[in-house]
Amino acid sequence: MTGTLRLSEEVDQALRQRRPVVALESTIIAQGLPRPRNLEVANELEEMVREQGACPATIAVLDGRACVGLDAAEVARVAQDPSLRKLGRRDLPVALALGASGATTVSATVWLAAAAGIRVMGTGGIGGVHRGYSETLDESADLQVLSTTRVAVVSAGVKSILDVPATLERLESLSVSVVGYQTEQFPGFYLHSSGQRVDWTVSTPAEVAAVMRRQDELGITSALLVANPVPEGEQLDPETHDRAMAGALASAESEGVSGQRLTPHLLSSLVRATGGASLEANLAAVRGNVRLAAEIAVAFSAVAEG
């Protein structure tokens, strides 16, 4: 990908020196948070990674270049430019060919991270199988990318607007390994638990790193999904969540919202219905996931050196 993939000086040096690096998506900055708080959070997450001893690699496409690692001005551009598109993996070749700019979703971020040689990513929640799949056949591209890309993705499960049981079944079909971090329950994004169980539990970053090493030894090329729940004290109140979710789904159906517009519509409806509490739970999950991703990257780097 020479000439297409641009590594920041900080990321390039870290990778050359085999130091830990954590990939971060940029859609949460460009489309997921209100301005100017989005820029504050973007900088906070990068600094959190550094505090844990790893190098942050926020990923975006700017002027037709896939940028792995952004400088301060580029982070500010992603946060402040309303014209940036939302780019999944399928959009990458078109955006690069046409010189476009956009923020990367989980699918695009994971793909570009792997292309750069980055093994760990931290995010809020991944996409999955949408409710009513039998009628709409609506499934996030995140799942297919996870099935073919060897990156450890730390998330608070899948967005709770989705069909969680169906998503877990799909991950199993795609041979994506799923482990709960210090939990036997699959997280519910805004909620500590979705009510679904996980087959495997890991207790430390070192155990996650050991799983990653075994993936390498076995030649497995799919992702490792590390399901890290938002702390119970910071989760959205379950009753409030269920009530707001029902209202969001009803409004989407009545307004005929579907396709790529559905997820943003549901998430913004939840923010309004919960008076911003869902946004705070989302941020609590993101912070915890990014911190854990950095700890895993450090542990995996130590394993690799050993």
Q: What is the 3-state secondary structure (H, E, C) of 91-134?
A: HHHHHHHCCCCEEECHHHHHHHHHHHCCCEEECCCECCEECCHH
Q: What is the distance between the alpha carbons of residues 182 and 40, in angstroms, rounded to a whole number?
A: 29
Q: Where does CATH 3.40.1790.10 sit in the chain? A: 1-118, 123-306
pLDDT of residue 304: 67
Catalytic residue among 86, 139, 159, 295: 159
pLDDT of residue 45: 98
- If the chain, 306 residues long, is cut into consecutive pieces of 10 residues, what is the mean pLDDT of each piece? 83 97 96 93 98 98 98 98 96 97 97 98 91 65 95 92 91 97 96 95 98 97 97 94 89 78 79 92 96 98 74
pLDDT of residue 191: 94
Q: What is the distance between the alpha carbons of residues 186 and 275, in angstroms, rounded to a whole number?
A: 26
pLDDT of residue 168: 96
* Phi and psi angles of residue 186, each rounded to the nearest 5 degrees, phi first: -75, 130
Catalytic residue among 9, 25, 47, 217: 25
- What dotted CATH number matches 123-306? 3.40.1790.10
- Angle, CA of 197, 178 and 46, to the nearest 5°: 115
pLDDT of residue 157: 92
pLDDT of residue 64: 96
pLDDT of residue 147: 97
pLDDT of residue 160: 77
pTM summary value:
0.94
Q: Which CATH architecture has domain 1-118?
A: 3-Layer(aba) Sandwich (3.40)
pLDDT of residue 140: 84
Is 159 known to be catalytic? yes
Which stretches of the chain are DSSP H helices? 9-16, 27-30, 37-51, 72-80, 92-97, 106-116, 133-136, 141-146, 164-173, 205-218, 238-255, 262-273, 277-305
Helix, coil or strand: residue 165: helix
